[in-house]
């Protein structure tokens, strides 16, 4: 029996990439899936394919996150797992000294989706878990760019570092409520987002390793099955996810 059997799972950024792969894995495992995304056409089509429910969601919007959780409860009676996966790429810096001043609007949008979407999504999910009497699981899609420097993707990297820090810091506070939080840190994943920057990546790293979205979804289930909390999990092609050690301060 799958870990997802009978469970209700909310996935943001569900219309493509990692989110779509996660939705398929949940449905294949006998779970109920709620697909949240700004892409209405693709989201609705996938929801119909998987017998799930789609809800249009801008993860940077508080009311949209609350509505997504409410949709899960109204459709399937409860919420068991929230996978806060929505994300967009971006650097807000130019490539030369003359372009160095930051593009504030781009910066704000990347942070709104990649970080605010997790902060707001965590709050909405935890509120529902508490209404149900406690217990639940939250996954946040971070990245290896959230633990390593990423020249050329500075704002994206900053947002994912923040997600890792948020999850590691919140987890101890919610452990006593039986709510687990973990961050997924895949390497480069074959998604529509990656394809927009892949030529530039290959120019600097010709042998770059690409991880399939389906592998990330399988890794997500593995992380949930460990019942651990507060981890940032490295996900490489063909390998089980492994926790990334927390840096220790040197004195």
Residue carrying the six token digits 């040197």: 250
pTM: 0.91
Residues 8-232: name the CATH superfamily. Answer: NAD(P)-binding Rossmann-like Domain (3.40.50.720)
Q: Which residues are catalytic?
A: 156
For residue 2 the two structure tokens come to 């799958």
Low-confidence ranges of the chain (pLDDT < 50): 97-98, 250-251
State the Cα torsion 48-40-88-19 to the nearest 10°.
-10
- Give me the helices (H) in the chain, please: 17-28, 40-50, 62-76, 104-111, 117-131, 154-174, 192-195, 198-204, 213-226
Q: Which of 74, 19, 73 shows the shortest CA–CA distance to 47?
A: 19
pLDDT reported for residue 247: 78
pLDDT reported for residue 209: 76
Is 45 buried (19+), middle (13-18) or exposed (0-12) by CB count in 10 A? middle
For 22-41, the DSSP string reads HHHHHHHTT-EEEEEES-HH
What digits encode the pLDDT tens for the residues 46-100? 999 999 999 999 999 999 999 999 999 999 999 999 999 999 987 666 555 445 6
Sequence-separated (6 or more) residues with CB below 8 Å from residue 15:
35, 37, 39, 42, 43, 46
For residue 160 the two structure tokens come to 């994912």
């Amino acid at each position: 029996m799958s870990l997802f059997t009978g469970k209700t799972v909310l996935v943001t950024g569900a219309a493509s990439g990692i989110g779509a792969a996660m939705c398929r894995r949940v449905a294949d495992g006998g779970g109920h899936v709620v697909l949240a995304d700004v892409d209405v056409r693709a989201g609705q089509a996938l929801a119909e394919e998987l017998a799930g429910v789609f809800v249009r969601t801008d993860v940077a919007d508080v009311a949209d996150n609350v509505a997504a959780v409410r949709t899960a409860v109204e459709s399937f009676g409860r919420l068991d797992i929230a996978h806060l996966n929505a994300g967009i790429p971006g650097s807000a810096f130019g490539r030369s000294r003359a372009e160095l001043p930051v593009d504030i609007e781009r910066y704000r949008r990347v942070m709104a989706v990649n970080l605010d979407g997790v902060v707001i999504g965590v709050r909405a999910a935890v509120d529902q878990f508490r209404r149900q009497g406690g217990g639940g699981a939250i996954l946040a899609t971070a990245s290896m760019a959230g633990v390593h420097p990423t020249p050329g993707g500075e704002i994206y990297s900053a947002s994912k570092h923040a997600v890792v820090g948020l999850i590691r810091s919140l987890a101890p506070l919610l452990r006593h409520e039986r709510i687990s939080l973990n961050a997924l840190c895949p390497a480069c994943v074959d998604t529509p987002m990656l394809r927009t920057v892949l030529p530039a990546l290959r120019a600097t790293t010709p042998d770059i390793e690409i991880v399939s979205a389906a592998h990330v979804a399988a890794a997500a289930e593995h992380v949930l099955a460990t019942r651990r909390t507060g981890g940032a999990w490295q996900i490489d092609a063909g390998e089980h996810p492994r926790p990334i050690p927390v840096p220790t301060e040197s004195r």
